[in-house]
């Protein structure tokens, strides 16, 4: 079945440094790749997403890259701040908006930004 692997499981960086989280998916039909941030006790919040017709997308300090051939996608956070500390989940689905668009989540990365 579909599977999304995510690495690392924990990541500690100094404030101002960059953080990179990587995911690999198994379903070659996947074409939508969102990233969620979940703070303790709160619901997951979508922070950025990418569709398979683009290779990179950027939103201020956050960027996502996609390599469809290798079935890899990555989240890049630059100039990290303490408020970036949270658990980050990648996910993948096929056919966004269609009948088979369930999201399959990665295992999560606990990011700690040290002041």
Partner 1 sequence: SAVISQKPSRDICQRGTSLTIQCQVDSQVTMMFWYRQQPGQSLTLIATANQGSEATYESGFVIDKFPISRPNLTFSTLTVSNMSPEDSSIYLCSVVPASSQAYGYTFGSGTRLTVV
Which residue lies nearer to partner 1 by CB, 17 or 56? 56
Tokens coding 27: 């379903």
Strands 109-114 and 10-14 turn out to be parallel
Closer residue to partner 1 (CB): 18 or 107: 107
**17-39 CB burial, b ≥16 within 10 A, e <16:** eebbbbbbbeeeebbbbbbbbee
Q: How far is the CB of 16 from partner 1 (least distance, A)?
A: 28
Smallest separation (angstroms) from partner 1 to the CB of 100: 9
Please report, as ranges, the residues that interact with partner 1 according to CB under 8 A.
1, 34, 42-46, 49, 89, 96-97, 101-108
Q: CB 83 → partner 1: shortest distance, Å? A: 20
Nearer to partner 1, 19 or 90 (CB): 90
DSSP assignment letter at 94:
S
């Amino acid at each position: 079945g579909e599977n999304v692997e995510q690495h690392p499981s924990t990541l500690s960086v100094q404030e101002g440094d960059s953080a990179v989280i990587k995911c690999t998916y198994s379903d070659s039909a996947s074409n939508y790749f969102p990233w969620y941030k979940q703070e303790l006790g709160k619901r997951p919040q979508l922070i950025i997403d990418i569709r398979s017709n683009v290779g990179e997308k950027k939103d201020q300090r956050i960027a996502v890259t996609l390599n469809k051939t290798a079935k890899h996608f990555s989240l890049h956070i630059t100039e990290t701040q303490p408020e970036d500390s949270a658990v980050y989940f990648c996910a993948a689905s096929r056919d966004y908006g269609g009948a088979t668009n369930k999201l399959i989540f990665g295992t999560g990365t606990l990011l700690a930004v040290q002041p």
